[in-house]
Amino acid sequence: MTSLLPNYVAGRWVAGTGPATPLVDPVTGETLVSVSSGGLDLPAAFDHARTTGGGALRALGYAQRAAKLGEIVKLLQANRDRYYEISLANSGTTRNDSAVDIDGGIFTLSYYAKLGASLGDSHALRDGDLASLSKDQSFGVQHVLVPTRGVALFINAFNFPSWGLWEKAAPALLSGVPVIVKPATATAWLTHRMVADIVEAGILPEGAISIVCGSSAGLLDPIGPFDVVSFTGSAQTAATLRRHAAFVERGARLNVEADSLNSAILCADAAPGTEAFDMFVSEVVREITVKSGQKCTAIRRAFVPASHLDAAVAAITAKLSKVVVGNPRNDSVRMGSLVSREQLAHVRDGIAALGEEAELVFNGATLPLVDADAAIAACIAPHLFVMRNPDEALRLHDVEVFGPVATLAPYTVRDDVLPETHAVELARRGQGSLVASIYANDSTHLARVALELADTHGRVHALSPSVRQTQTGHGNVMPMSLHGGPGRAGGGEELGGLRALGFYHRRAAIQGSAETLGALVDAGVQASSPS
Task: Read off φ and ψ for residue 330, nearest 5 degrees.
Answer: -85, 125
3-class SS letters over 223-261: CCCCCEEEEECCHHHHHHHHCCHHHHCCCCEEEEECCCC
Average pLDDT over all residues of the chain: 96
Cα 510 from chain centroid (whole Å): 35
| 277 within 8 A of 308, measured Cβ to Cβ | yes
What's the rounded Cα separation, in Å, for the pair 213 and 217? 11
Q: Give the other-Cβ count within 10 Å of 390's Cβ.
A: 23
Q: Say how many residues make up the chain.
A: 531
| 315 within 8 A of 353, measured Cβ to Cβ | no
What number of CA atoms fall less than 13 Å from residue 484's CA on the CB side?
Answer: 20
On the question of pLDDT at 166 being above 80, the answer is yes
| 37 within 8 A of 212, measured Cβ to Cβ | yes
Q: How do 262-266 and 228-232 pair as beta strands?
A: unpaired
Evaluate the CA torsion angle 93, 70, 156, 20 in order and state its sign: positive
- In the chain, the percentage of residues whose pLDDT exceeds 70 is 99
Domain ranges of the chain: 4-258+493-518, 262-478
Query: In the sheet that 299-305 helps form, which strands lie side by side, from edge to edge?
Result: 359-363, 383-386, 405-411, 299-305, 262-266, 433-439, 457-463
- The 10s digit of each residue's pLDDT in 475-491 is 999 999 999 999 999 99
Q: Give the other-Cβ count within 10 Å of 248's Cβ.
A: 10
**Runs of H (alpha helix) within 36-118:** 42-48, 54-58, 62-78, 80-91, 95-117
**Mean pLDDT, rounded, for 416-420:** 89
**Amino acid of residue 204:** L
- The 10s digit of each residue's pLDDT in 322-381 is 999 999 999 999 999 999 999 999 999 999 999 999 999 999 988 899 999 999 999 999
β-bridge partners, 360:
385
CATH, range 4-258+493-518: 3.40.605.10
Cα 513 from chain centroid (whole Å): 44
Q: What is the pLDDT of residue 529?
A: 62
**CATH architecture of the domain with residue range 262-478:** 3-Layer(aba) Sandwich (3.40)
| 234 within 8 A of 399, measured Cβ to Cβ | no
Cα 167 from chain centroid (whole Å): 7
Q: What is the pLDDT of residue 366?
A: 87
- The 10s digit of each residue's pLDDT in 426-472 is 999 999 999 999 999 999 999 999 999 999 999 999 999 999 999 99
3-class SS letters over 449-460: HHHHHHHHEEEE
**Amino acid of residue 224:** G
Q: What is the maximum alpha-carbon separation in the chain?
A: 80
**Mean pLDDT, rounded, for 254-260:** 94
Give the 3-state secondary structure of residue 204. coil
Which residues form the catalytic set? 257, 296
What's the rounded Cα separation, in Å, for the pair 267 and 276? 9
**Amino acid of residue 456:** T
Which of the four pLDDT bands, split at 50, 70 and 90, describes residue 231?
A: very high
pTM of this structure: 0.96
**Mean pLDDT, rounded, for 417-426:** 95
On the question of pLDDT at 218 being above 80, the answer is yes
Task: Read off φ and ψ for residue 446, nearest 5 degrees.
Answer: -60, -35
On the question of pLDDT at 234 being above 80, the answer is yes
Q: Give the other-Cβ count within 10 Å of 465's Cβ.
A: 17
| 80 within 8 A of 101, measured Cβ to Cβ | no
Kind plus residue range of the DSSP H or E element containing 143: strand 139-147
What's the rounded Cα separation, in Å, for the pair 193 and 207? 17
- The 10s digit of each residue's pLDDT in 77-128 is 999 999 999 999 999 999 999 999 999 999 999 999 999 999 999 999 999 9
| 265 within 8 A of 437, measured Cβ to Cβ | yes
Q: What is the pLDDT of residue 2?
A: 76
Q: What is the pLDDT of residue 531?
A: 53
Which of the four pLDDT bands, split at 50, 70 and 90, describes residue 304?
A: very high
On the question of pLDDT at 527 being above 90, the answer is no
Q: What share of the chain is helix, strand, coil (3-state, %, to 5)?
A: 40, 20, 40
Q: Give the other-Cβ count within 10 Å of 17's Cβ.
A: 11
Give the 3-state secondary structure of residue 197. helix
Q: What is the CA radius of gyration of the chain?
A: 24
**Amino acid of residue 207:** G
103, 158, 337, 397, 437 from 484: Cα distances, Å: 21, 18, 26, 19, 15
| 441 within 8 A of 275, measured Cβ to Cβ | yes
On the question of pLDDT at 415 being above 90, the answer is no
